[in-house]
Each structure stands twice: as C-alpha cells, then as structure tokens.
C-alpha cells in the first residue's frame, strides 16, 4: 500500500528534539527523509544521555526512526555542492539551528528558492521578532517565555515546567501540520514556500485558554480557579481543570510503599453530580439544594474534592477509576512512566513499539500518535551515523564509484 507522503523527499537538517520529531512524523507518513549530519559527530543527541557505552542513545533512536543518515560537512565547498544537489531533487528542507546558522552556511531562503523554486523551506526557531529574536532556545526556555511556566504549579510555589515536551515535540507537530499544508498548496501553485515557527508561538498556541482567562480577569475573578486572591495576571491553579467543568487530582490508596502516583483525576460533569455523591455515600450533598447547580458548587470546590478524596483513599486508583467510570464520571488514573511502558493497550494501539537496532539490540519507542486508514505506519529503527552516505551519493546523486572515498579524504563527508 502506498503511504500518504510516498514520493516526497525531505532534506533533514534538524537536530536535538523539536526538528527531528517533525521529520520523523514525515518519515512515518512515507516521505524519504535524509538526515544531514556533521561528519564524525552527528546529531548531538547521539551521544547525550547514553544508557549504553558507544551506542546511539535512546534520545537519538526514539526521535530519528525511519530516516536515512548522510554525513556532510556544511563548512566545506564540496559538502555544500552535495547539499545543493540534494536540494535540487527534494521537496522539503527542514532545519532547527540557532538564529542565523543557515544564512552563515550560505543558504538563505532566497538562495534555496533559487536553487529549487518548488522546495518548501521550514525552520523552527526559539522566537519570532522582538526582544528575544536572536536567542537560542531549549524546551524549558520556550515554556518559560510562552506562558506555560507562569501558569503551571501551585499558587504558593515557584513556576514549574511540564514533563510533556510541549516546546519541542509539541512544536514538531505544529511544524508537521504547516509543512503538509505548504505541500498541498504546492499542488496548485507549483511553488515552494517558506514555513516558519517559533517555539514560543507554539507554546502560546497551547496556552490559548490562559490568554482567554487573562482577558476574563478584566471582568472579575475566575470563580472556577481554586485561588482566593487574584492580581492582574492569571495565577497558577494547581490541578484545576482550566475548562468549564471543575476537576482536581485526588489521592488514592497506595499500592507500593512509596505510594507514588496513587492519584485519580476526577471531573465533576453536571449530570454526574448526583450519582457521584450517592456512590461515595454522600446522599446529603446530592440532595442539598445549595450544591445542586454548577454555580452553587463553585465556592465549595475544595471541600467537595476533599469529600471525594476521603472515598478514593479507600481504593486504589484503578479500583476508584473502575467504580466511577461505571457510573459515567469522567476520571483517569495518574499513570507513571512504568505504568505506560507496560500498558498492553498502548502496545495494541501502536503507541509503544519495540524496534531492533544493530548496535543496541531491542528498544522500545513511542509510535505515531495518529492513524490514517490508507497510510499505515511501520516504525523502523534510526540510522547509524552516515549509514546511507554511499547509497545517496551513488543512487540518488549519480556520483561515480570512489566518490565516498574522495569526499571523505577531502573532509566533506
């Protein structure tokens, strides 16, 4: 069966996390993704956070599946010649270097567009125009500057970053969507275009509801927040749901000595108020007119979740989930990374996948978060550094035999 992006070739100049996750998505959709890496070193993540000596790290292998790897010294003339040839026969080039790096390599948008007017040139940077525009960015810097950190955590504690890599992997998804849109537009115009995203913009997109609340603050306090006092900005709201239905994380009976992650997240949807109260043995609250409407309950939320917690503390998170789910209460256990990697459902869904690697053996990776009925994803291992340099030079660029040796001696690959 053909894949959604079969026939599309991507020159992948990405490194670290944000860019590689985007190009991995393109590869899973069937694009031929050719990762360009610095000779002798490669993507810095190959050697970062290693769990095994002299083997590509999980950091690298989990973000670079289904790609081909070519080494190319972008600071040598011959390396640049090979790069220009690749641009000529490709559809997309993606990069997430620091500000100005592609320009310093000699590849401005104008030059790339001149080399191949059909190519889509996608860049991810930390920031767009403004005070931060020339700054490098990592995940947590993006979370700090995009509104995620100031709104995460508890009111009386410091700003907190989320474990979800919303700046890197989150923005990779934004970039993937933008590239696919540009590719579709090219089918009508025949022209490539410039695609740009800043990590901060992507974070702000994900913090949209917090900017909603910033404007609501002008008209009064935020009744659904657990906070008692409000200043002129949206406060950290702990585990409050942030949506129209109140929610909170309540403790459950621990199953291990440490009791870590023995929590259930519970949302009080209006139709389940009464069955929920009856379930936990609080018929008095189910029948109390002061608590019968969502508005009436708002000033009592802390007390209500304490009451629910008294009940959940007598059950494990899975027992509590089972009983509440059976009466249609929206809720979910807080699952640890161990819970997740052992989750049979996630394996059945294709979200936890085992892959064989010639040097590290079998490893588990996270699969594609969506499915297309006509474009099934087959998760494959990441490439070794420069594994495909020879085949790309010979089969794609038609370079003669002996070219790899010549370019290696010249320090170009």
Catalytic residues: 168
DSSP per residue over 35-76, as a string?
Answer: EEE-TTT-SGGGSTT-SSTTS--HHHHTT-TT-EEEE--TTS
**Smallest gap, in angstroms, from Cβ of residue 127 to ligand CAO?**
9
**Scanning the structure block, which residue is given the tokens 């209460």?**
329
Q: Which two tokens stand for residue 343?
A: 């989750």
From the list 163, 28, 24, the residue with the least C-alpha distance to 96 is: 24
With CB under 6 A as the contact rule, which of the stretches 137-145, 249-257, 284-292, 405-413 interacts with ligand CAO?
Answer: 137-145
**Smallest gap, in angstroms, from Cβ of residue 260 to ligand CAO?**
26
**Smallest gap, in angstroms, from Cβ of residue 411 to ligand CAO?**
10
**Smallest gap, in angstroms, from Cβ of residue 261 to ligand CAO?**
26
> Which residue, 137 or 331, is less far from ligand CAO as judged by CB?
137
Confirm if 364 and 65 have CB atoms less than 8 A apart: no
d(CA 77, CA 241): 55
Contact between 48 and ligand CAO per CB under 6 A: no
Contact between 124 and ligand CAO per CB under 6 A: yes
CA atoms 56, 62, 67, 72: torsion sign: negative
**Residue 92 parent element (H or E):** strand 92-95
Contact between 134 and ligand CAO per CB under 6 A: no
With CB under 6 A as the contact rule, which of the stretches 92-100, 143-151, 225-233, 282-290 interacts with ligand CAO?
Answer: 92-100
Identify the residue among 30, 65, 126, 247 touching ligand CAO (CB under 6 A): 126
Identify the residue among 5, 55, 58, 137 touching ligand CAO (CB under 6 A): 137
Contact between 241 and ligand CAO per CB under 6 A: no
- Taking CA 206 as the corner, what is the angle to CA 48 and CA 210, rounded to the nearest 5 degrees? 125
- What is the distance of C-alpha 170 from the center of its chain? 3
Site for ligand CAO in 175-204 (CB under 6 A): 199
Contact between 93 and ligand CAO per CB under 6 A: no
Q: How many CB atoms lie within 10 A of CB 303?
A: 11
d(CA 402, CA 173): 40
Contact between 105 and ligand CAO per CB under 6 A: yes
CA separation, residue 411 to residues 80, 405, 408 (Å): 12, 10, 5
**Smallest gap, in angstroms, from Cβ of residue 106 to ligand CAO?**
10
Identify the residue among 6, 48, 52, 75 touching ligand CAO (CB under 6 A): 75
Confirm if 397 and 85 have CB atoms less than 8 A apart: yes
Contact between 242 and ligand CAO per CB under 6 A: no
From the list 182, 212, 207, the residue with the least C-alpha distance to 194 is: 182
Question: Could you tell me where the beta strands, DSSP code E, fall in 237-375?
Answer: 247-251, 263-267, 331-333, 352-357, 361-366
Contact between 259 and ligand CAO per CB under 6 A: no
Contact between 36 and ligand CAO per CB under 6 A: yes
Give the residue closest to ligand CAO by C-beta. Answer: 98
> Which residue, 109 or 154, is less far from ligand CAO as judged by CB?
109
Contact between 125 and ligand CAO per CB under 6 A: yes
Contact between 73 and ligand CAO per CB under 6 A: yes
Site for ligand CAO in 161-180 (CB under 6 A): 168
Binding site for ligand CAO (CB under 6 A): 16-19, 36, 38, 72-75, 96-98, 101, 104-105, 124-126, 136-139, 168, 199
């Amino acid at each position: 069966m053909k894949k959604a992006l079969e026939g599309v070739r991507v020159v992948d100049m990405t490194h670290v996390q944000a860019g590689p996750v985007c190009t991995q998505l393109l590869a899973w959709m069937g694009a031929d993704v050719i990762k360009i890496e610095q000779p002798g070193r490669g993507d810095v993540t190959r050697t970062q956070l290693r769990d095994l000596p002299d083997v590509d790290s999980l950091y690298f292998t989990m973000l670079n599946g289904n790609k081909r790897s070519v080494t190319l010294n972008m600071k040598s003339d011959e390396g640049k010649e090979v790069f220009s040839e690749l641009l000529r026969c490709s559809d997309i080039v993606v990069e997430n270097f620091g500000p100005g790096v592609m320009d310093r390599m000699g590849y401005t948008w104008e030059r790339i567009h001149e080399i191949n007017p059909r190519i889509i040139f996608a860049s991810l940077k930390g920031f767009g125009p403004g005070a931060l525009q020339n700054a490098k960015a990592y995940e947590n810097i993006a979370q700090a500057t995009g509104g995620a950190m100031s709104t995460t955590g508890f009111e009386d504690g410091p700003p907190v970053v989320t474990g979800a890599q919303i700046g890197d992997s989150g923005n990779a998804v934004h970039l993937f969507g933008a590239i696919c849109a540009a590719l579709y537009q090219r089918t009508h115009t025949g022209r490539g275009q410039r695609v740009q995203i800043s990590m901060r913009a992507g974070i702000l997109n994900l913090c949209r509801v917090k900017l909603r609340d910033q404007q609501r603050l002008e008209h009064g306090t935020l009744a659904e927040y657990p906070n008692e006092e409000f200043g002129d900005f949206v406060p950290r709201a702990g585990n409050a749901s942030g949506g129209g239905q109140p929610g909170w994380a309540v403790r459950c009976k621990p199953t291990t000595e440490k009791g870590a992650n023995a929590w259930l997240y519970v949302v009080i949807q209006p139709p389940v108020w009464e069955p929920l109260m009856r379930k936990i043995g609080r018929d008095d609250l189910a029948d109390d007119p002061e608590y019968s409407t969502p508005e009436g309950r708002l000033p009592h939320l802390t007390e209500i979740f304490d009451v629910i917690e008294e009940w959940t503390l007598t059950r494990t998170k899975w027992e509590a989930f089972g009983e509440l789910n059976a009466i249609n209460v929206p809720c979910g256990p807080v699952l640890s990374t161990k819970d997740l990697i052992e989750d049979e459902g996630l394996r059945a869904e294709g979200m936890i996948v085992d892959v064989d690697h010639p040097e590290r053996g079998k490893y588990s990776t996270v699969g594609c978060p969506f499915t297309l009925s006509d474009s099934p994803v087959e998760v494959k291992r990441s490439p070794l550094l420069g594994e495909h340099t020879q085949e790309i030079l010979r089969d794609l660029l038609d370079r003669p035999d002996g070219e790899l040796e010549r370019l290696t001696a010249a320090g170009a690959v």
